[in-house]
């Protein structure tokens, strides 16, 4: 009986220790990510250390390395915010094109690389930006957040968490604008829905413009597939139902 009492006395501590261990292990695997539960937005966080990333971009067979530091506080400041909707009920995708210090740093580094290749070519710069975005793995919203719900992200969130077509397109457009290029986004709302980026080029290398908007030619940027180069598109037959996003209040 004494042994039984002793077992009952100390079992809760063991159980608590086991639960604590499971929580720590889960946190090390899952954090830092955002979660959607019953339509509510949550962020799991245990520290706010800086997040270090390294990317390789290539052009003409030459590979260049870019190091990116994302302040933990900046990432969580975005992840904590509710997702915004436009007046028409759609997610306000324009709000997620953001030029902040991280995006500007990436743009500046890509511009330096582009200038070493051809300082007079915006085609080179636009191609490097697209290759950079292709290094961020495509992930559907439901595979990241555990539920199928539209969840647009800022560039910093996408760099940390990965993202789908609207996230990668916002990342491209943000970096392009920070680099001094003229960039917009194309939204194809019909089923299946899709989003891509567009960029204006002076040095167009003979590419066919995907769309002329306000008298300016834009070239297609497929951000979800590294197999697609600048200007390549399979969406020519869907232009009639396409919407253009060109006004970015945070860029």
> What residue ranges define each of the domains in the chain, with the CATH number in brackets?
50-245 (3.10.620)
Indicate the SS3 state at residue 217.
Answer: strand
pLDDT mean over 127-143: 83
Residue 83: pLDDT band with limits 50, 70, 90: confident
Residue 150: pLDDT band with limits 50, 70, 90: confident
At residue 6, does pLDDT exceed 90? no
Cα–Cα distance between 187 and 196 in angstroms, integer? 7
Cα–Cα distance between 128 and 118 in angstroms, integer? 12
Query: What is the CB neighbour count within 10 angstroms for residue 173?
Result: 33
With a threshold of 0.85, does the pTM exceed it? no
pLDDT (tens digit, 9 = 90+) per residue, 88-130? 555 689 999 999 999 999 999 999 999 999 999 999 999 999 9
pLDDT (tens digit, 9 = 90+) per residue, 23-37? 444 444 444 555 555
- What tokens were used for 86? 């436009």
Which phi and psi angles does 233 have, rounded to 5°?
Answer: -150, 150
Which residue is associated with the tokens 């080179």? Answer: 124
H and E: helices and strands count for the chain: 7, 9
Cα–Cα distance between 106 and 239 in angstroms, integer? 31
């Amino acid at each position: 009986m004494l042994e039984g009492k002793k077992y009952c006395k100390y079992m809760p501590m063991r159980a608590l220790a086991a639960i604590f261990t499971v929580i720590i292990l889960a946190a090390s695997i899952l954090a830092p990510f955002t979660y959607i539960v019953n339509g509510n937005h949550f962020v799991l966080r245990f520290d706010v250390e800086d997040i270090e990333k390294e990317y390789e971009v290539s052009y003409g067979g030459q590979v260049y390395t870019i190091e990116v530091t994302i302040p933990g506080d900046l990432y969580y400041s975005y992840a904590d915010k509710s997702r915004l909707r436009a007046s028409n009920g759609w997610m306000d995708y324009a709000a997620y094109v953001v030029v902040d210090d991280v995006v500007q740093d990436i743009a500046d580094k890509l511009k330096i690389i582009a200038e070493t290749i051809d300082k007079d070519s915006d085609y080179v710069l636009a191609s490097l930006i697209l290759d950079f975005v292709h290094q961020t793995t495509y992930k559907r919203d439901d595979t990241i957040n555990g539920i199928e719900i539209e969840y647009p992200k800022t560039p910093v969130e996408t760099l940390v968490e990965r993202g789908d077509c609207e996230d990668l397109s916002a990342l491209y457009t943000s970096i392009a604008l920070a680099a001094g290029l003229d960039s917009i986004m194309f939204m194809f709302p019909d089923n299946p829905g899709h989003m891509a980026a567009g960029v204006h080029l002076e040095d167009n290398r003979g590419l066919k413009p995907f769309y002329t908007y306000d008298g300016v030619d834009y070239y297609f940027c497929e951000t979800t597939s590294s197999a697609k180069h600048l200007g390549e598109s399979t969406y020519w037959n869907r232009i009639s139902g396409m919407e253009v996003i060109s006004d970015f209040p945070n860029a």
